[in-house]
Amino acid sequence: MNRYRNKQRKFSILEITLLSMAAPVLMAGGFVHAWLKNSHVEVMREIDKTQQRISDHEDSINSLQIKIDRKLNIYQIRDELARSGSSLRQVPSSAVENIPRHRPGLDRETSPDRSVIAQIRP
């Protein structure tokens, strides 16, 4: 039994050939893995930047919506008109007339007379 253990191990031609073929394949696999991992990191960074830009845009949209809501606040509009001494006054809702939308397919005879509507003032 010891006779095999003490014998020097020599590599055969087939083993050396297989090792010489496997080494470049494994090295190429390592390079491809590193390249793909680097690409993945770059894509994740781009996704993070895009998500940050989306968040910034949503914040600016929200702040703009708040500014619009403040400008359209009826009580602030009334106060500003009163402070500026404007001649605009509140109109009762009974004086407001609802005018239907113009439909191009209808004849002029069936559509309401626009000259009469334009002359009516509260």
Query: For the residues of 12-36, what is the DSSP string, one character each?
Result: -HHHHHHHHHHHHHHHHHHHHHHHH
CA distances from 12 to 6, 15, 16, 71 (A): 18, 5, 6, 88
Q: Rounded to an integer, what distance in angstroms lies between the CA atom of residue 48 and that of residue 83? A: 49
**Which residues neighbour 100 within 8 Å (Cβ) at sequence distance 6 or greater?**
112
Backbone angles phi, psi at 63, to 5 degrees: -65, -35
**What percent of the chain is modeled with pLDDT above 70?**
80
pTM value > 0.75: no
pLDDT digits (tens, 9 = 90+) for 28-68: 999 999 999 999 999 999 999 999 999 999 999 999 999 99
pLDDT digits (tens, 9 = 90+) for 61-99: 999 999 999 888 888 888 888 899 888 877 888 888 888
For residue 7, pLDDT beyond 90: no
